[in-house]
Amino acid sequence: DVMEVCSATGFRKNPKKVLDFYDARRAQLQNVKPNHAHEKIAQLKEKWGKNLFVITQNVDDLLERAGCKDVIHLHGFLPELRCLKCEGIFNIGYEKFTDKQCPKCKSKDLRHNIVMFEEQAP
């Protein structure tokens, strides 16, 4: 059930299950390559610069890997973690979540930086 791993309720009930789910997605992401559409969007962004906003609901980094700069991720960004103590956000790339701590406040109370069902997008 997707609500077990992609909802705020699921996270409150079983945070480990949710964090493991997103760890697996993050690990898979490193094996996926940008496609022609990602590359074309990156070319348009390069051409138009600050006059073009690239906004996506996707949480992957495929646009960035295609060379697109300043992508706005409405639903969060899979390579990032968010600190539940200080709200700091930091990039861990494709690494596992295990044994991470916030570089800002040193808390280990972290979660993926993804907007889940039942949450408001920032």
**Catalytic residue numbers?**
75
Strands (E), the chain: 55-56, 72-73, 76-83, 89-91, 110-114
In this structure, are residues 110 and 98 in contact, taking their beta carbons and an 8 Å threshold?
no
| CA gap 64, 38 in Å, rounded | 9
| CA gap 76, 66 in Å, rounded | 18
